[in-house]
Amino acid sequence: MNITNVVDAQKQYFKTGATLPISFRLAALKKLRKEITAQENAICEALHLDFKKPYFEAVITETSIILKELDEFISNLKSWSKTEKVTSSLLNFPSSAYIYKEPYGNTLVISPWNYPFQLAIAPLIGAVAAGNTVILKPSELTLHTANILSSIIAKVFDKGHVTVVQGDKDVSQELLSKVWDYVFFTGSVRVGTIVAKACAEHLTPVTLELGGKNPCIVHESAKIATTARRLVWGKFINAGQTCIAPDYILVHTSIKKVLVTALKKEIEAFYGSDPEQSPDFARISHKGNFERLSKMLKDSKLICGGTTNEEDLYISPTLLDEPALNSNAMETEIFGPILPIISYTTEEDIHKYVSHYHKPLSFYVFAEQKAFADKLLKKYSFGGGVKNDSIVHFVNKNLPFGGVGQSGMGAYHGKRSFETFSHKKSVVKRGTWIDIPLKYAPYKNKLKWIKSVLKWT
């Protein structure tokens, strides 16, 4: 595939104005929804072939989220797209003022391998709904899902409207060397830095959905059984390969033993005594991540788990006991089924760990003591947080999803996806039936009058 030709074709398509009518956008979204519904089993099968993702998880974390997002856009796109009238300035009397919602133009979406269907289609929906053209670059590490994405897109959209470009990092770099009107990237902080630099070359606006060391604080007032169940689900779904998964637990010393016991009990309840045989536990998506995660086990004290099978890219649900800050597991985001358990005594102990890292994408507190939870949720900066659960904030369409600092920039989901891919154009329409000369030269004896007017604007 000649990337230059593909990009040029998209530019020409956008120039025709085909994507501008709301009726065109709605038709495309409805057609996409119909095709995804028809292909849902095939999508789930592709995800299973890529890393043995359970069908249940494929539905609740990939296809169902996308179908709900499409329903939200189809229901609300007309109202979201309307020109917004705002209060006019007295300085411009007589006039009216408006905000027009217009597409940026040609957009690039680069999606990751951990949720390879959902995190490819979700931003694409926002881009299409806002009237843009899209080139989607899915991860080459989940090839079966990339192939079905390519098939679905080809059936639904004109080539110049939305196109899938497959390939390795060299293809991504070539795409990033082109001039775009908007870029949307989901992935690691390291690659996000590369994307940001490429966008800076052309002053291209960009959304970066990245990650970080997401802390989970368990207070002595927490309900242990519920906490353990919700933590095991939030951490080990998708084999821990979730950017908003709890990265490490800070648990009060007084309840550490009972929490560990409860976590071990829930892991077995979820996946049996041998999780490798469980149909409900996914595998590591690719060899590179498997090798990186395996190194984290070598310098850590195991509480449970730690079993690996390189041939099957399997790593068991694993709990680590008090790893050092300079250990492999604590130096970087884990992004796998490994969960460090670290005890704390005071809030200063919590601060030592949380402040050691950059601002996280997510932050979790388990506590029945409201004042403690509220204090921490206000004290620290993070993308999104939850009290008494983990990762569930992601599914609320009314909450913006995105990071802060090194965990990302920009946000999306629901209406905010439409806003992300829309330029808000300010327009003033002035009347000509009167033209007050106060602002025009000569300015002699006008300053006191203009000051009086400014007080009221």
pLDDT tens-digit map of 323-358: 999 999 999 999 999 999 999 999 999 999 999 999
Q: Which amino acid type is present at position 268?
A: E
Q: Please list, in sequence order, all residues whose beta carbon lies within 8 angstroms of the beta carbon of residue 118, skipping any fewer than 6 positions away.
A: 61, 62, 63, 65, 66
Residue 49 burial (CB count, 10 A): 15
- Write the pLDDT tens digit of every residue in 91-113: 899 999 999 999 999 999 999 99
Instruction: Report cis status (omega within 30 of 0) of the bond before 275.
Output: no
- Write the pLDDT tens digit of every residue in 422-454: 999 999 999 999 998 888 999 988 898 888 878
- Write the pLDDT tens digit of every residue in 194-231: 999 999 999 999 999 999 999 999 999 999 999 999 99
Closest by CA position to 136, among listed 152, 144, 412, 445? 152
Torsion of CA 322, 323, 324, 330, to 10 degrees: -130
Which domains, and CATH codes, for the chain? 3-210+407-424 (3.40.605.10), 215-402 (3.40.309.10)
Region 83-96: what's the mean pLDDT?
A: 93
With cut-offs at 50, 70 and 90, classify the pLDDT of residue 1: confident
Specify whether the CB–CB gap between 270 and 282 falls below 8 A: no
Specify whether the CB–CB gap between 147 and 117 falls below 8 A: no
pLDDT of residue 449: 84
pLDDT of residue 456: 76
In 87-125, which ranges are E strands?
95-103, 106-110
**Gap between the Cα atoms of 320 and 293, Å rounded:** 13
pLDDT of residue 439: 87
**Backbone phi, then psi, for 365, in 5-degree steps?**
-135, 125
Torsion of CA 129, 135, 137, 143, to 10 degrees: 90
243 assigned to active site: yes
Catalytic residue among 40, 62, 209, 333: 209
Region 17-30: what's the mean pLDDT?
A: 98
**Taking the model in full, what pTM does it have?**
0.95
Chain centroid, CA 88 distance in Å: 36
57 assigned to active site: no
With cut-offs at 50, 70 and 90, classify the pLDDT of residue 420: very high
pLDDT(236) > 90: yes
Catalytic residue among 40, 72, 243, 333: 243
- Output the average pLDDT for the chain: 96
Secondary structure of residue 216 in the 3-state scheme: strand
* Local structure of residue 103 (DSSP, 8 states): E
**CA–CA–CA angle 294, 295, 298 (5° rounding):** 100
Separation in Å, CA 391 to CA 188, 247, 261, 396: 18, 12, 22, 10
**Gap between the Cα atoms of 457 and 453, Å rounded:** 7
